[in-house]
Chain A
């Protein structure tokens, strides 16, 4: 419980965060930016886990533990994605999405 702040306000903030991430994911042309947008989406959901745990089941810790878990996975995923992007850059000297479409159709 955070005094003076209701769950709705926090959920509104995380929703905004989530949709900023989604918007970024859809509209960014740069692979690094897309990756950052994904991080935003993940962070929004992590905050949701913590908040909902705190407000609905204050005696338990599952939500908090799960968020730690998500952070670990996100870190691993980011490392993987960055390594892919670096390799891609070595191949085509670009991290733009449009330059990765040469195998289409």
Chain B
């Protein structure tokens, strides 16, 4: 089965980007929107074709999905260590391609309405295409280094799109923050890549991930500080993934990234780029699982579990609807991470891995939908804050219904998509680690609560008097909402476990009814609480918040992580470390160089009189020289 045409999936958006980017001013906005949508449609069609061919036209050998690899050597170091460029088509990359193309296409369509009349309309579509190209390239990468290149490219596109409103200082600051934080994380990623290259001699995913391959079999051959070097490498790579996926200590950029236009938040900061970290861990899953008995994988699990709890608590207190969704994203990605962390490798043990990918898929649909709904609401109300909203269901029926569907999906109410994937995650956690399971269940309840707090706060609650009556968004914006709502309903029925498992052999997953019942009950409790607090305007929620006292304030201020980081960087790093080093550099390193230069200039100033330009002086020097030489020779000859 030749799937080399999948290379077109990233290349078409690249062509669109170049077209729109180079002829930025010459293309009319209306046309550029169509070009962007058309390019993505083409990519999406090819993605679906590839998925169909891969999964349904025979590629199974002995019941295992065979990866399809097409690559050329790009940089050659040794016989085994070379950097390739190419495409790797296997179940998870196909799944990611589908996710990216669906969400990206919907966001492109949506942006035609949302960004209408904006000055940088063409530029916006160019950036969206750049992002789509990078993301497709990332998921189709064949080796660690190629994935790193595209990893940075999505980082750049994210930076460009967060800072899209570049006249707004807060947007510029947010873009910078996102860039710097993720770059810091990527430093770890790069070191991890170099360690892997040094100790295993290859970057190729298929070679690295082979359970009988030398990388996995010989993991114990060299160690550093009590852990295998490969474990260190995997932890560092996870650090890169954690930065991109806004996991706990590196999460601070994600809420600020909401300064970007809402379609961008839906595409990059909810559905695709932020799950790149999950994808990365899944991509190297056999390594994570086998090296040092999954030590690095345990770190993934606990970081994921903690992040999901931490973010869910903050999400409850936030009043900016996009920030609530941002923290919700972080929480759900934590969910995916913990699912990966508790997964096994073979057969039914791989349920965590499967569940993680499943949740990634369904989450992309309903979280993109939530963001696009939020964009629609913001478009109508011209505010991000809950206090400016309320009673919008009368004005925006379609947004209301689609938001409700997405909220039910994320809360895990059957039969919506989130229920199925969340259930699998909880099954995996229950089988492997009870503590993580309890965290997961608690977070499920919190998720339902804050999501319905948002829903009731926006569409029910108090009847705000609006200066301009809000109205439903145009068709170009509601159409993607409807499509994604449909997907949020049906995506859960895809038998994921038959397609995507760590060992690439499908298995049949069954609903675990007791666990599902627990999860649904907890979710419903959350919804009911939100209903009591926020359905009608009342002061119950304030009283409740006051009951938590200072803890509520902490959560509202995001546990002061921004402040802590600022303190560490500004007060300690910059003042105590960077400033003295800068001073040393200026005084001694620069000083030496400047001194050399100054000495040269001063000396030449002194001796430039020698080169007087007078022929007479030169003649004098010449004759004096001749006389001296003549005297020397005469002296020598006469003796």
Contact = CB atoms under 8 A, between A and B. Distances in A.
B608 interface: yes
A26 B620 contact: yes
Interface residues of A, number: 10
A27 B623 CA distance: 13
Given A34-B616, A97-B614, A22 B608 contact: no
Nearest to B613: A104
A25 B619 contact: yes
Contacts of B623: 22, 26
B606 to A, nearest CB: 13
A25 B617 CA distance: 10
B614 to A, nearest CB: 7
B612 interface: yes
A47 to B, nearest CB: 20
Contacts of A103: 613
Contacts of A25: 616, 619
A105 interface: yes
Contact of B619 (A26, A97, A105): A26
A99 interface: no
Contacts of B613: 101, 103-104
Contacts of A97: 614, 616
Interface string A77-105: 00000000000000000000100010111
A84 to B, nearest CB: 13
Contacts of B620: 26
Nearest to B614: A97
A105 B608 contact: yes
Nearest to A98: B614
Interface string B537-556: 00000000000000000000
Residue of B616, B620, B623 contacting most chain A CB atoms (<10 Å): B616
**Is chain B's interface secondary structure helix, strand, loop, or mixed overall?**
helix
Interface string B616-639: 100110010000000000000000
Interface string A19-32: 00010011100000
Nearest to A23: B623
Contacts of B614: 97, 101
A34 B620 CA distance: 13
Contacts of A104: 612-613
Among A26, A27, A97, A101, find the residue whose CB has the most chain B CB atoms closer than 10 A: A26
Contacts of A26: 616, 619-620, 623
A18 B424 CA distance: 111
A27 B619 CA distance: 10
Nearest to B609: A105
A97 B617 CA distance: 12
Nearest to B626: A22
Contacts of B612: 101, 104
B612 to A, nearest CB: 7
A93 to B, nearest CB: 20
B261 to A, nearest CB: 61
A25 B619 CA distance: 8
Interface in B596-620: 608, 612-614, 616, 619-620
Nearest to B621: A26
A42 B185 CA distance: 83
B631 to A, nearest CB: 15
Contacts of B608: 105
Nearest to B618: A26
Nearest to B617: A26
Nearest to B612: A104
A26 B622 CA distance: 11
Interface in A1-58: 22, 25-27, 34
Nearest to A28: B616
Nearest to A27: B616
Contacts of A105: 608
Contacts of A27: 616
Nearest to A103: B613
Nearest to B616: A26
B32 to A, nearest CB: 60
A22 B621 CA distance: 12
Contacts of B619: 22, 25-26
Name which of A97, A103, A104 has the most chain B CB atoms within 10 A of its CB: A104
Nearest to A19: B623
A27 B614 CA distance: 12
A99 B400 CA distance: 94
Interface string B352-390: 000000000000000000000000000000000000000
B58 to A, nearest CB: 86
Nearest to B608: A105
Nearest to A25: B619
A22 B619 CA distance: 9
A27 B616 CA distance: 8
B622 to A, nearest CB: 10
A27 to B, nearest CB: 8
B451 to A, nearest CB: 80
Nearest to A22: B623
Interface string B273-315: 0000000000000000000000000000000000000000000
B610 to A, nearest CB: 12
A80 B616 CA distance: 19
Q: 7 closest A-B pairs (Cβ-Cβ)?
A: A26-B620, A104-B613, A26-B616, A22-B623, A26-B619, A25-B619, A105-B608
Given A26-B623, A101-B614, 12 more contacts: A22-B619, A22-B623, A25-B616, A25-B619, A26-B616, A26-B619, A26-B620, A27-B616, A101-B612, A103-B613, A104-B612, A104-B613
19 contacts: A22-B619, A22-B623, A25-B616, A25-B619, A26-B616, A26-B619, A26-B620, A26-B623, A27-B616, A34-B616, A97-B614, A97-B616, A101-B612, A101-B613, A101-B614, A103-B613, A104-B612, A104-B613, A105-B608
Interface of B: 608, 612-614, 616, 619-620, 623
